[in-house]
Amino acid sequence: MNATTPAGYTTVAPWIVTTDTGQLLDFVTAVFDGVELARVPLQDGTIGHAEIRVGDTVLLAFDQRPDWPAMPSLLRVYVADADATTERAIAAGARVVTAPATHAFGQRGGRVRDPFGNIWWISAVVEEITPEEGMRRLAEPQYAEAMRDAQETLDRELSGRTESIVSPPLTG
């Protein structure tokens, strides 16, 4: 433990609020090899607090109350194999938002939306790239296309539009 953070936790701890935290914990276990640390059931049958470790991070979760608005999360998870993890997510009920692709900054990944509305950006480091090299690569057609697809698919998913409104990165 440091002065502000308990042992085993990171300085920033993401919360996921969902309609079924028990099923969320099952999804995270199946897809990301999560290890459940805590679950606090409430008298009304909901879960008031839960914790699950994924890699070096503890995700916190609890059930949404009936009169609360939906609060989907957008989470990035680093994994050993983005394609295999995406396939596990699909098998566990997620749908693809952005198909996996190799990106300019040396990562391969894509996005899925889980059955609870959260979007997971699943990434694997495939090569070490300096920020300068990554910016240079954005001008190359394959990486420019991967960036365009990542922007457009997320925009369509979040906006509900069929046509995306995105702006390409400045590369020069």
- Note down pLDDT in tens along the chain; length 172 residues: 567 888 888 888 999 999 999 999 999 999 999 999 999 999 999 999 999 999 999 999 999 999 999 999 999 999 999 999 999 999 999 999 999 999 999 999 999 999 999 999 999 999 999 999 999 999 999 999 999 999 999 999 999 998 888 787 776 6
Residues of the chain with CATH 3.30.720.120: 1-71
C-alpha span between 63 and 50 (Å, rounded): 9
The matching CATH number, chosen from 3.40.50.720, 3.40.50.2020, 3.10.420.10, 3.30.720.110, for 72-172 is 3.30.720.110
The per-residue pLDDT for 105 is: 95
The per-residue pLDDT for 172 is: 61
Q: How is domain 1-71 classified at the CATH fold level?
A: 3.30.720
Residues of the chain with CATH 3.30.720.110: 72-172
What DSSP line would sit under the chain, residue for residue?
A: --SSS-TT--SS--EEEES-HHHHHHHHHHHH--EEEEEEE-TTSSEEEEEEEETTEEEEEEEPPTTSPP---EEEEE-S-HHHHHHHHHHTT-EEEEEEEE-TTSEEEEEEE-TTS-EEEEEEE-S---HHHHHHHTTSHHHHHHHHHHHHHHHHHHH--SS----PPP--
User: Which structure tokens are listed for 13?
Assistant: 């701890």
